[in-house]
Amino acid sequence: MVTEAARWRRQMARPVLDWYAAVEGVDAVMLGGSTARGDADRWSDVEIGVFWRQPPTPAERLAVAGAAEVRLVNVDGPPWDDQLYLGEPRPDGLMVEVAHTLTQTVERALDELLKGKPDGQVMQLAQGIIDGREVIGPRAELIAGWQERVATYPRDLAIAVVRHNGNIEKFWRWRMFFERDNPLLVAREFVRMTNQLLNVLYALNGRYSGHVLAFKRLDALDLPLAPPSLAARIRAVFDRPAPEGAQTLHDLIEETFDLVEHHLPEVDVDLLRATFHSERKPLESAD
């Protein structure tokens, strides 16, 4: 089901897609993110990917027809990122985040990713390609080819991601910060470990994730291989008093290790558990 917010954003973005597709040097353009998936809400921006044969000039990036305002977010690339505002200049206009990159850069990055070499930005790119819709441009077939390539998540990549993110160390630090009455650092530790946990579960389910914003809709995680009531229990980690939240997070991690042990036997789960269970005992003051 496509939300009304997504429909309106697609309509607003279409002239921008058409404009980029007609620029000399552009191979293909696609709509991405929540607007492409159809689950955009009133907070959602629009994401557009532009794939070039050669680096775009600042003048080409600034000349978008129909934009009320264009901001060049970075000069060095690839990728190059821009923010466009449609309808009105910021802060009232609809923001469109444009990611420019080179076609050959995407080809090389996907080659490395599919060899089982995890990279957060490239995994984010892969998921963006999967989500891509309304693809146009003189070489639009490129994106269909990329979508076919990344449709099957490589097992070697899952193993590498789980080995890296499953190394959840220093669980004990939440207790140190709790005793120091520092809820900010308690929350930071919970976020760090929850993010690692979700990266493991995404890899276990053959889903690309390279950024914490991949998890911004907890009720839409759609992970068949996961601890039960995952979204509700993640919320409980942060909603309950720290000792209760820590116990909930501890249980989620242990249950996830059980899943890894069953579905990815190539991963040494005993090693991951040894790291996770490591403790640092506080030193008592000498009298």
Strands 133-136 and 26-32: antiparallel
Hey, what are 67's tokens?
A: 């934009």
Segments in the chain below pLDDT 70: 285-287
CATH number of 4-152: 3.30.460.10
Predicted pLDDT of residue 222: 86
């720290």: which residue's tokens? Answer: 242
Find the farthest-apart pair of alpha carbons in the chain and give their distance in angstroms, rounded: 78
Predicted pLDDT of residue 269: 98
E strand residue ranges, 132-273: 133-136
E strand residue ranges, 57-125: 67-72, 80-86, 94-102
Q: pTM of the predicted model, to two decimals?
A: 0.92
Predicted pLDDT of residue 284: 79
DSSP letter (8 states) at residue 181 = T
Predicted pLDDT of residue 285: 62
Domain ranges of the chain: 4-152, 157-277
Using one digit for the tens of pLDDT, what is the confidence trace for 242-251? 999 999 999 9
d(CA 8, CA 150) in angstroms, rounded, equals: 29
Closest CA to 17 of 40, 42, 46: 46
